[in-house]
Structures are given as C-alpha cells and as structure tokens.
Amino acid sequence: MVPSILFEVMLVFLLGIGSQWVAWRYRMPAIVLMSITGLLIGPVLGLMDPEEDFGDLYNPIISVAVAVILFEGSLNLNYKEIRGLGRPVFRISTIGAFLSWILGSVTAHYIAGLSWAAAFVIGGLFIVTGPTVIMPLLRQSKLKPRPAKILKWEGIIVDPIGALLAVFAFEIISYLTSANPDGSALLTFFAASVFAAMLGWACGRGIGWMFESGYIPEFLKSPAVFTVVIGCFTIADEVIHETGLLAVTAMGVTLANMGISSLADMRHFKENVSMLLISAIFIMLTASLQVDTLLQVFDPGIMGYVLLMMFVVRPLSIFLSTIGTDLSLNEKLFVGWIAPRGIVALTVSGYFASILSDAGYVDASLITTITFALVFTTVVAHGFSIGWLAKKLHLSLEGKPGTLIVGSNNFTVNLAKSLQKVKAPVMIVDSSWERLRKARVAGVPFFHGEMLSEQTEYQLDTNPYEYLIAGTEYNSYNALICTTFMPEFGRTNVFKVSPYRNNFEGDIVGKVAGRILFNKKLSLEYLNSKLEHHYVFRQTSITNQYSYKQYLNDKDEDTVLMYIMKPSGRMRFYTEEMRVTAEPGDKIVSLTPPVKEMKKIRKRLENQRNNGRTNSENAQATTSE
C-alpha cells in the first residue's frame, strides 16, 4: 500500500497524465491505457484502493469530477453546430435511447440472469456513452465532421438521461412492488427532474448575464463558473440523486448558446481541467475494483450479455431510430458500433448496487461486475477499432496533414502551391475577396471569411488541417490568430511570419504567441520581395547518397529553408525555436535564387541565337547558289 493519502493523490495524477502522454506518443487509445494502469496498481498488485483509502470522501470526489466533466462537454453543444444533423441526433437521443433501454433490459434479464428490477435499472444506465470516453476517442480518430458531431452530441445529451432512466426504473419498480403503492414518489421524481433542468437553465442565464454586464472580473470568471457548477449539481442532487447531472448539462448548453465572447477562454481552461479529472478518475475507479469482481467477469452469462449489447442491441437501436433520416449506411454502421461506456456508468452503478441490495434484491451485487465488464470491453474494443473502422467506411480524414494559411498574398499563395506539389492539403483564408484573387487565379483552395468570426467557426471545417500559418501583413492580427487557435492546433503547430522590420526587435508582438517562421529577420515584405526577384520554390530529395549535410553545404547562401516533408506526410517547418533535420526519404522545400532557371534561360537564348545563325548561313548559301 502507498505510504500516505497525499502520496496516493500524487500517484493517481502522475499515472493518469502519464498514461495520456504514452497514448499520445505511441498513438494508442488513452482510455485503454488508463484502465489497464488502474487495474495493475489496484486489484492486481494491491498498491492502492482509493475507495477504501479516501473513505467517505470517495463518492463526493467522483461525483463532483463527473459533474465538471459533463458541464465542460455540454459547453461545446452549440445549436449551430448541428445544422443538418438535428433530426438524426434527436432520434438517436430519444427513440434510440428508449430502444436501447428496453432491449438492454430484456437482454440483462434473459442472458445475464438479473431480476426484472435490476435489469431495468442497469438497462437505463447502459444507454450512456458519455464525454469521458467519447471525446478522447474522437480526438485520436480524426473523423469526418458528421459522425463526430453525432457521437459527441449523443454522448453528452444521453449521459444525464441514462442516469435519470435508472432512477426512474427504480422508482417505478419500488412503486409496483410496494405493499401500499404511493404515487407521490413518482411525482416527486418528475418534479425534481423538471426542477433540475430549470435550475441549470437559471444558473446558466444568471452567470452569463453577470459576465456580459461586467459584474465579474476576468480573473474570477473561471473560479466563479466552477463554483456555480458545483453548487448547481449539489442542490439538484440533494433533492433527487443523479438529477444533478441533468442540471449541469442544462447549465452548460444554456451558456454555450448565449454567445458570450469570453466563453472561449474559459472553455479552453475547462478542457484542460476536464482532461486532468478524466485521467485521475479513471485510475481511481479501476484501482478500486475488487479481485472477485474481475473474476466474475468471465461468467458465460455476463460475457454473453456484453457481446449482445455490443453486436445486437446497440446496432439495432441505431438502425431503427434513424429510419427516414439522411444518414448513410456507413454512418449508421459506424455509429451503431461505437458506444463505449465510461465514468458515469461506473459511478452510478455502485450507487444502484447498494440501494437495490438494501431493497432486498440478491442479484444487486452483479451490477458492478456487469458494469465493469461492459465498460472495459467497449473501451478496449472501440478504442482500438475506431480508427480502423472509420478508414474502412471512408469516414476518416485520410491523407497527409494539411496546412491552414490565414492571409492571401504573393508569398502565401506560392507557399500554398508548393504544398499542393507535395500533395499536402492546404487552404487560404482571407476576409478580402480582392486579396483572394491571387489564390483563385493560382488554383489554390480558399475560404472567404473572417478567421476569428463565429460564423467561420461553423462553416470552415478545420479537421483536415494540423498546421496553421498566420501570414497577413498585420503583425498584431497574426499574433491574435496564433493566440486564439493555439489550444486547438497545439503550440508547436502554430506559426506566423516575422513581425520584425529592419532587424528591429523591440516590437512586443514578436513575443506573443506562435512560432516565427524560418527566421525573425525574414519578414513578409522580405519574402515577397524575393518572389518579385524571381526566387522559386524548389524541392530537394535527401537520399543515402545525398545527405542533409551535403545539401546544406551545396545550397546557395541566399536560400530560405521552408519546410521538410516526411514520407509519412508530416511536415516540419523551419523555425529558430525548433531544431529541424532531414533524413533519407525526406523532401526539403526551399525558396531559392533563380540560378538554375537563369542558366536554362541563357541556354535557351543561346540555342535560339545559334539556330538563327545557322538559318542565316543556310539562307546565304542558298542565295549564292
């Protein structure tokens, strides 16, 4: 066992974030690694048991963390995002959820051997595919926008519905099996659900109004939101257990659709907090499982139930609920397969296992085992198959990572053309139709709109692009672009042209956001002037016979190194802050003086003169004859 609670907290966070890093480094499903890590340090090696060690604080910690995660996910549910997808999302979140509940409950009764009471409770619980597992999978799979949005909306909307269905099923069963049925409990449940939704809406509107009216300073906005989220969740949950999830979801959706300008900054902060909480909670939950629970997983009835839920119940509920929608067969197959269960299922199942046990249901102890079996199996199966299946069904963004260039001018258009030649996706964005004329004439893909506009956010699909270059003539705007999109693209994938002019380094803009492309001495004016002097973009292949060192020795001293294209399709842009080297198989793209071109022109002119002399001599010879 660990020496202290403090050491255990440190170890939980260290293992959680460490699992996330290993998953990112080796392109593996993070949820799978976290689950395996938790099992190893918990029931397998016996190093910790968070549920026992934290005691009475364990459940409140988990509940608050789930509330914050669900709220952060619901902040992304802007109605503008599902234009054209409203009908499928509504059908899957209502009809599909209901079908999944009924079919899952029947399967739990006849295959897993649960009583009808436990079966309907667990059936309601297992319709959830929450943000704790869906979001990490979507980040790693690079899906096309339609299936990604459907899975995201379903996961966040159905999360509280599943918990409420489980509560509703228990209340109905308690009412029907009671010796003296009393409908007041049912009325209380429905009233509490309405109260939770209204409370969430009121909290969202209230905090949003305070932000817009300036009653909360910038440095207090994130702490204030966190406090209100926890308060909203706790008040609703104290009335009826699990209605707190509905309250925080309603609060998040309300805030997301109020159009608050400062919400984006808070969203990025909350994404980071949510990532930390997901990492820690998954480690804690899996480490708290008992060895007996793991051994029960291999019961034939439980294994059969898990397989039927994955291969029959989920696909059938999706296909039936989406009849008459515009979803393609491939989209239905994909959404019908991807349904991993996560933190909400694990946490809520423990609560219902205890109350069903107290109510006298002897099979209540199986609920935790079945929940873990379904969670772990779906996380592993869907985590490893989502990328492969997306490619097979043509629903992934295949091809090389793309580059999004903000600003249309002579240099950026020629840079985009060089990217086209190496078959890398590229797009130029500019708010001026006149400036975009260069891109249109050159045949470069373009988008006419303001990059920082909310409309552009929903009209321009940025998923194919991993790199962003701010290349306008306005240095402050370039810095703002880099600052805004750094959380989305990553610090190492956001670049800007040098803001310095005449080697002056006192401009503070140069130190704000984004890596400076190539060299801080190479401003946009300088690069455009080189093109005016007929500099050209040239590709050079590095081989075993022609090394990178030889290339650096042979290149002209005025050559500007642009980027390296790897055989995998990934690019490394040259910057002063990043050490870039090329290996055999790489292609170096550079802006070079037109030495070769001038030699070709001189040779062509010389050939023309020689041909002219020859023709003249032949004509003179013919005349003399």
Looking at the structure of the chain, the number of domains it has is 3
With 0-12 / 13-18 / 19 or more C-beta atoms within 10 angstroms meaning exposed / middle / buried, residue 545 is exposed
Say if 325 falls within a structural domain. Answer: yes
Say if 161 falls within a structural domain. Answer: yes
pLDDT band with cut points at 50, 70 and 90 for residue 30: confident
Which range of residues forms the domain containing residue 153? 56-392
306 vs 382: CA distance, rounded Å? 13
- Encode pLDDT of 307-352 as tens digits: 999 999 999 999 999 898 888 898 899 989 988 887 677 777 776 7
Half-sphere exposure of 91 (CA within 13 A, CB side): 17
Residue 571: how many CB atoms within 10 A of its CB?
22
Angstrom CA distances, 358 to 70, 174, 242, 353, stand at 29, 12, 18, 9
Higher pLDDT, 269 or 216: 216
Query: Are 297 and 310 within one domain?
Result: yes
The residues pairing with 350 across neighbouring beta strands, listed in sequence order, are none
Query: Are 261 and 319 within one domain?
Result: yes
Across the range 471-481, mean pLDDT stands at: 85
| DSSP H or E run through 162 | helix 145-177
CATH of the domain at 89: 1.20.1530.20
Torsion over CA: 577, 446, 75, 334 (sign): negative
Per-residue confidence (pLDDT) for residue 268, from 0 to 100: 61
Residues 6+ apart with CB under 8 A from 136: 29, 30, 31, 278
Per-residue confidence (pLDDT) for residue 201, from 0 to 100: 93
Higher pLDDT, 173 or 263: 173
Residue 512 has pLDDT above 70, yes or no: no
188 vs 184: CA distance, rounded Å? 6
| Pair 508, 485: CB distance under 8 Å | no
Report the side by side order of strands in the sheet with 446-448: 446-448, 426-430, 402-406, 465-470, 494-496, 515-516
Say if 294 falls within a structural domain. Answer: yes
Report the side by side order of strands in the sheet with 536-541: 536-541, 587-592, 560-565, 571-573
Say if 220 falls within a structural domain. Answer: yes
173 vs 121: CA distance, rounded Å? 9
Across the range 57-85, mean pLDDT stands at: 74
Rg (CA), the chain: 30
| DSSP H or E run through 160 | helix 145-177
Calculate the average pLDDT of the chain: 80
* Residue in 471, 468, 483 with CA at minimum distance from that of residue 402: 468
SS3 for 450? coil
Say if 361 falls within a structural domain. Answer: yes
Q: CA 496, 502, 507 angle in degrees (round to 5)?
A: 55
Q: CA 240, 241, 242 angle in degrees (round to 5)?
A: 115
Query: Are 242 and 214 within one domain?
Result: yes
Residues 6+ apart with CB under 8 A from 338: 129, 137, 151, 382, 386, 389
Per-residue confidence (pLDDT) for residue 81, from 0 to 100: 60
- Encode pLDDT of 147-195 as tens digits: 888 888 787 777 777 777 777 777 777 777 766 666 676 788 788 888 9
Query: Are 295 and 158 within one domain?
Result: yes
pLDDT band with cut points at 50, 70 and 90 for residue 107: very high
Across the range 561-572, mean pLDDT stands at: 83
Per-residue confidence (pLDDT) for residue 617, from 0 to 100: 57
194 vs 200: CA distance, rounded Å? 10
Task: Summarize the chain as % helix, strand, coil (round to 5).
Answer: 65, 10, 25
| Pair 229, 67: CB distance under 8 Å | yes
Query: Are 211 and 331 within one domain?
Result: yes
SS3 for 496? strand
Query: Are 506 and 608 within one domain?
Result: no
Residue 464 has pLDDT above 80, yes or no: no
Final residue before a domain boundary, out of 346, 365, 392: 392
Per-residue confidence (pLDDT) for residue 189, from 0 to 100: 77
Residue 418 has pLDDT above 90, yes or no: no
* Residue in 544, 548, 553, 577 with CA at minimum distance from that of residue 564: 548
The residues pairing with 143 across neighbouring beta strands, listed in sequence order, are 396
Pick from 401-410, 504-513, 569-578: least confident: 504-513
Residues 6+ apart with CB under 8 A from 517: 469, 495, 496, 497, 498, 573, 574, 575
CA trace torsion 433, 434, 439, 443 (10° rounding): 80
Say if 17 falls within a structural domain. Answer: no
Total-model pTM: 0.66
CATH of the domain at 430: 3.40.50.720
Query: Are 622 and 572 within one domain?
Result: no
Higher pLDDT, 186 or 494: 494
pLDDT band with cut points at 50, 70 and 90 for residue 132: low
Per-residue confidence (pLDDT) for residue 433, from 0 to 100: 87
Q: Output the DSSP codes for 338-406.
A: -----HHHHHHHHHHHHHHHHTT-GGGGHHHHHHHHHHHHHHHHHHHHHHHHHHHTT-B--SSPEEEEE
The residues pairing with 75 across neighbouring beta strands, listed in sequence order, are none
Say if 23 falls within a structural domain. Answer: no
Where on the phi/psi map is residue 72: left (φ > 0), alpha (ψ -120 to 50), or beta? alpha
Give the strand pairing for 465-470 and 494-496.
parallel
499 vs 525: CA distance, rounded Å? 10
Pure H helices in 424-495: 437-442, 454-459, 475-489
Residues 6+ apart with CB under 8 A from 221: 211, 262, 265, 266
Higher pLDDT, 588 or 615: 588
Higher pLDDT, 157 or 532: 532
277 vs 68: CA distance, rounded Å? 9
485 vs 273: CA distance, rounded Å? 18
255 vs 266: CA distance, rounded Å? 11
Determine the number of helices (DSSP H) and then strands (DSSP E) in the chain. 26, 10
Query: Are 406 and 300 within one domain?
Result: no
Query: Are 510 and 604 within one domain?
Result: no
Final residue before a domain boundary, out of 392, 424, 443: 392
pLDDT band with cut points at 50, 70 and 90 for residue 556: confident
Across the range 511-516, mean pLDDT stands at: 68
Query: Are 419 and 470 within one domain?
Result: yes
Amino acid at 435: R
Percent of the chain scored above 90 by pLDDT? Answer: 7
Would you state the structure tokens that stand for residue 162, as one six-digit string? Answer: 């599943």
Residue 597 has pLDDT above 60, yes or no: no
Say if 607 falls within a structural domain. Answer: yes
SS3 for 143? strand
Final residue before a domain boundary, out of 348, 363, 392: 392
Q: Output the DSSP codes for 264-319.
A: HHHHHHHHHHHHHHHHHHHHHHHHT--HHHHHHTT-HHHHHHHHHIIIIIHHHHHH
Query: Are 166 and 246 within one domain?
Result: yes
Pick from 136-145, 251-260, 261-270, 389-398: least confident: 261-270
The owner of tokens 């209605």 is 243
Query: Are 530 and 612 within one domain?
Result: no
Higher pLDDT, 460 or 310: 310
